[in-house]
């Protein structure tokens, strides 16, 4: 009997355990921020941003960043229809309106032309989500942002280790957000980071992140504005410090797994995987297979095949606009079509070659069935 292949599992070594134990034993009183300060400094230097604030989640980092830009009722924020709800929820909580646009067929990230068409006098920001470690077209988005004087924000939750023209994902926008959830390339269990090189914006988010207390405020327990409590704990940051010492190992392994899949599946026709154009280095967070529409292979068929093979595979994000709280935008044809025939493959750090083979065998069987079996004919 085979053992189940998980799609994700963190890599925690004695290094992380040692730091966490130290934080639990000694990280109190005057030492209660030591690991947080170290983690913020290691991470912002790695990405190349001037300022970083560790948070309880990427969602919290996004909400504080948007709030610090003054985004609120009547404002619109453009983002790709293909996204996790975490990117849209902060916009809603601030009383602003998310405007969902289509994705590009190859990178599965926001289509810059569609974003430009969606701009109105109320548009305040465009969020560039680097989906599954793929890169958004940042040159085009930054040009649109500067032409219309709109902030371009990077949701880099899934893009640790990714690079665009040699620049790390998360170093190009007005601000960027990262996630260290247990499924991410670098984890602190739950957690996130707000990064920016804009000193004024940093100060505003710092105040918001500290329950609205300005750091120059001499009075204790005195809030200057209503803020948030989205902080990371010292114990979580201790795990993060260990992970940062291993960051190359963690990101290299993600890329090695994606490349192993690509090599192993190169002979299979009718599928596409995470693209890596010359100017991009993929973060490879989620190796993903998209079946061509002509194969007739559907999400249900794919999920059933992986379940039978005892392999955890994750569905491609449904369009956010298809979900009950939003108005459907089926004109976002790529976002609405690709998710119907795509799957995220397992890619955890300690995955074995044998497990990669098992995953590839499922994809090969699905592809063979599509070209030889009853579903062979392309559908209208």
Ligand X SMILES: Cc1ncc(COP(=O)(O)O)c(C=O)c1O
**Contacting positions for ligand X (CB under 6 A):** 57-59, 84, 86-87, 129, 155, 157-158, 179, 181, 192
Min separation Cβ 187 and ligand X, Å:
10
- Residue 248, helix vs strand vs coil: helix
170 versus 296: smaller Cβ distance to ligand X? 170
Min separation Cβ 130 and ligand X, Å:
8
Closest by alpha carbon to 9, among 184, 179, 261? 184
87 versus 196: smaller Cβ distance to ligand X? 87
348 versus 358: smaller Cβ distance to ligand X? 348
Q: Would you say the C-alpha torsion 363, 128, 116, 89 has a positive or negative sign? A: positive
Min separation Cβ 377 and ligand X, Å:
36
Min separation Cβ 372 and ligand X, Å:
36
Cβ neighbours, 10 Å, residue 311: 20
86 versus 271: smaller Cβ distance to ligand X? 86
163 versus 301: smaller Cβ distance to ligand X? 163
181 versus 231: smaller Cβ distance to ligand X? 181
Min separation Cβ 153 and ligand X, Å:
11
Min separation Cβ 17 and ligand X, Å:
22
323: alpha, beta or left? (left if phi > 0; alpha if psi -120 to 50):
beta
Q: d(Cα 64, Cα 225) in Å, to the nearest integer?
A: 13
Query: DSSP string of 92-127?
Result: HHTT-EEEEE-B-TTT-SB-HHHHHHT--TTEEEEE
Residue with tokens 């979580």: 236
Query: DSSP string of 256-295?
Result: HHHHHHHHHTTT--SEEE----TTEE---SS-EEEE-GGG
- Residue 108, helix vs strand vs coil: coil
């Amino acid at each position: 009997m085979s053992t189940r292949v998980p799609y994700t599992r963190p890599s925690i070594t004695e290094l992380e355990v040692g730091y966490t134990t130290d934080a639990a034993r000694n990280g109190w009183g005057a030492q209660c921020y030591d690991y947080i300060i170290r983690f913020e400094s290691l991470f912002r230097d790695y990405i190349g941003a001037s300022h970083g604030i560790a948070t309880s989640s990427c969602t919290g980092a996004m909400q504080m960043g948007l709030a610090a830009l003054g985004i609120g009722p009547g404002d619109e924020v453009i983002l790709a229809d293909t996204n996790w709800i975490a990117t849209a929820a902060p916009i809603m909580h601030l009383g602003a309106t998310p405007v969902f646009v289509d994705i590009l067929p190859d990178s599965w990230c926001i289509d810059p032309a569609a974003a430009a068409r969606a701009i109105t006098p109320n548009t305040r920001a465009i969020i560039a989500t680097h989906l599954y470690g793929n890169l958004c077209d940042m040159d085009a988005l930054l040009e649109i942002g500067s032409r219309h004087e709109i902030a371009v924000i990077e949701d880099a939750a899934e893009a640790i280790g990714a690079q665009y023209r040699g620049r790390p994902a998360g170093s190009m926008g007005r601000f960027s957000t990262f996630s260290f959830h247990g499924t991410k390339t670098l984890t602190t269990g739950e957690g996130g980071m707000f990064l920016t090189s804009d000193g004024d914006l940093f100060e505003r988010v710092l105040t918001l992140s500290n329950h609205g207390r300005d750091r120059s405020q001499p009075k204790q327990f005195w809030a200057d504005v209503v803020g948030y409590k989205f902080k990371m704990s010292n114990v979580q940051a201790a795990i993060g410090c260990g992970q940062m010492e291993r960051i190359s190992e963690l990101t290299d392994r993600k890329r090695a797994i994606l490349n192993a899949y690509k090599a192993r599946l190169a002979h299979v026709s009718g599928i596409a995987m995470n693209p890596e154009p010359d100017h991009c280095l993929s973060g490879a967070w989620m190796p993903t297979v998209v079946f061509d529409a002509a194969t007739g292979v559907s999400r249900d068929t794919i999920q059933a095949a992986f379940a039978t093979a005892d392999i955890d595979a994750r569905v491609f994000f449904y369009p956010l606009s298809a979900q009950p709280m939003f108005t459907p935008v089926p004109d976002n044809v790529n976002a609405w079509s690709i998710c119907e025939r795509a799957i995220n493959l397992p890619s955890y750090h300690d995955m074995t070659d044998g497990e990669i083979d098992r995953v590839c065998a499922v994809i090969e069987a699905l592809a063979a069935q599509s070209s030889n079996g009853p579903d062979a004919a392309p559908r209208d």
